[in-house]
Amino acid sequence: MTQIWKPQSPEVHRYWLNTILEEASDKLTDWETNFISNIERILDFGWILSEAQEATLEKIYAEKTP
Protein backbone atom coordinates (compact mmCIF):
# COMPACT_ATOMS: atom_id res chain seq x y z
CA MET A 1 0.00 0.00 0.00
CA THR A 2 1.31 3.43 -0.94
CA GLN A 3 1.80 5.84 1.92
CA ILE A 4 0.13 9.21 1.48
CA TRP A 5 2.37 12.18 2.14
CA LYS A 6 1.08 14.58 4.76
CA PRO A 7 3.15 17.78 4.73
CA GLN A 8 4.44 19.35 7.92
CA SER A 9 3.21 22.81 8.81
CA PRO A 10 5.11 25.95 7.75
CA GLU A 11 5.90 26.45 11.44
CA VAL A 12 7.74 23.11 11.55
CA HIS A 13 9.62 24.01 8.36
CA ARG A 14 10.59 27.37 9.85
CA TYR A 15 11.72 25.66 13.09
CA TRP A 16 13.93 23.23 11.14
CA LEU A 17 15.32 26.07 9.07
CA ASN A 18 16.07 28.33 12.04
CA THR A 19 17.66 25.49 14.01
CA ILE A 20 19.90 24.59 11.08
CA LEU A 21 20.96 28.23 10.66
CA GLU A 22 21.59 28.76 14.37
CA GLU A 23 23.28 25.47 15.22
CA ALA A 24 24.79 24.07 12.04
CA SER A 25 25.45 26.78 9.47
CA ASP A 26 29.19 26.07 9.68
CA LYS A 27 28.57 22.36 8.95
CA LEU A 28 26.66 22.88 5.69
CA THR A 29 28.06 22.13 2.26
CA ASP A 30 27.81 24.83 -0.42
CA TRP A 31 24.88 22.97 -1.95
CA GLU A 32 23.08 22.74 1.41
CA THR A 33 23.69 26.45 2.06
CA ASN A 34 22.12 27.34 -1.29
CA PHE A 35 19.24 24.94 -0.66
CA ILE A 36 18.57 26.46 2.76
CA SER A 37 18.59 29.97 1.25
CA ASN A 38 16.08 28.89 -1.38
CA ILE A 39 13.83 27.28 1.24
CA GLU A 40 14.00 30.46 3.31
CA ARG A 41 12.78 32.49 0.31
CA ILE A 42 10.01 30.00 -0.39
CA LEU A 43 8.78 30.25 3.20
CA ASP A 44 9.11 34.06 3.18
CA PHE A 45 6.77 34.18 0.17
CA GLY A 46 4.29 31.97 2.03
CA TRP A 47 4.60 29.15 -0.48
CA ILE A 48 4.32 25.48 0.42
CA LEU A 49 7.28 23.12 0.16
CA SER A 50 7.07 20.15 -2.17
CA GLU A 51 7.40 16.65 -0.79
CA ALA A 52 10.99 16.45 -2.07
CA GLN A 53 11.93 19.84 -0.61
CA GLU A 54 10.47 18.92 2.75
CA ALA A 55 12.25 15.56 2.78
CA THR A 56 15.58 17.21 1.95
CA LEU A 57 15.12 19.91 4.60
CA GLU A 58 14.24 17.28 7.20
CA LYS A 59 17.28 15.19 6.21
CA ILE A 60 19.62 18.16 6.58
CA TYR A 61 18.01 19.00 9.94
CA ALA A 62 18.41 15.41 11.18
CA GLU A 63 21.99 15.05 9.99
CA LYS A 64 23.41 18.46 10.91
CA THR A 65 21.76 19.38 14.21
CA PRO A 66 22.42 17.67 17.53
Q: What's the confidence (pLDDT) of residue 1? A: 60
Rounded CA gap, 47 and 26, in Å?
A: 27
Cα gap 22→55, rounded to integer Å: 20
Report in angstroms the alpha-carbon separations of 36 from 2, 4, 16, 41, 63.
29, 25, 10, 9, 14
User: Taking the model in full, what pTM does it have?
Assistant: 0.89
Please tell me the predicted confidence (pLDDT) of residue 3. Answer: 74
Separation between Cα atoms, residue 11 and residue 43, nearest integer Å = 10
The Cα 40–Cα 47 span in angstroms is 10
Report mean pLDDT in 10-residue bins for the chain, 66 residues.
79 96 96 97 95 96 94
